Structure 1
Amino acid sequence: MPRSRNSSPPRSIADDFDLETFLPFQLSVVANRVSQSVGQAIAGRFALQIPEWRIVVVLGKYGALSALEIARKTSMDKARVSRAQHRLVDLGLANMHPSAEDRRKVIVSLEEEGLALYRDMVPLAHDTAQRLFAHLSADERRVLQTLVQKLFDSTSGFEPSGELE
């Protein structure tokens, strides 16, 4: 049925969309703000950018990993992982070598200096995060941790984009 000249188009969900209360948007902004706060503390002391310190903490925690495994654990795209791992190698903090099982796959691991850096970074990152969440009560932090863990678990199948291996 054709609309008359004076009638307005039907309303859509976009007409009432409130970005500031859209939970995925809020989570993204909060995650970026928290990451940037921790990243600024680390960059100020250790001269690493966010992708680089994420790789250092993942390798420090899990040991040698392929670039694809790093991308999965950090949820960073593979191109960003590649650039950051090469910078870590250039800084003498990490090394890369072909996998023994699949020579096409590159394995990244921390050098001794990288491991020492990891051990120095973790307390700073932890203290920065504690300050960010200090305004929450202990109960609120537990609830937040539970909810974030559920979201983390439910999104674990999402793959980072880009090709690396």
Structure 2
Amino acid sequence: MSFASIPLTGSKPEQYAQLLAQAEALLDGETDRIANAANLSALVYHALPDLNWVGFYLFDGTELVVGPFQGLPACVRIPLDKGVCGAAARTRTTQRVADVHDFPGHIACDSASRSELVVPLAEGDTLIGVFDLDSPVPDRFDVEDQAGLEAIAAAFLRSLRPA
């Protein structure tokens, strides 16, 4: 099967609805988390402007370990008590950071990153990992981005469940 990203049009919520539909089409019938994380990373990285890193960190029972991503090489392991990804995983709440330099304990994997949005991936009490997006633009992510990316993260979690 080949897949070509469809250009996003309309308002930001309409664009995220289109992106979610594309994500769900990519995930349809596939339950492998690595395959789905790889495809979603590529889809989002190429669909949204002003991003320099999009990817997944997967929880190994102790810490977050880098998974599929698009962008420059990344930090391999992130403790749950460090950085924006660790905060999202630890608190199970999305972290939207306007300027990562103002975030206590920020881990600078890419010095060009200025803002970040990290969505926790959890099923009940079970932490799966986090969906992480970085931008070189300060204050790149707003509440509409957060809602749209949380919906994509939820689609990823749904894809992991057997049919």
Q: TM-score, normalised by structure 2?
A: 0.32
| Structure label with greater radius of gyration | 1
| Bigger strand share | 2
Q: TM-score, normalised by structure 1?
A: 0.31
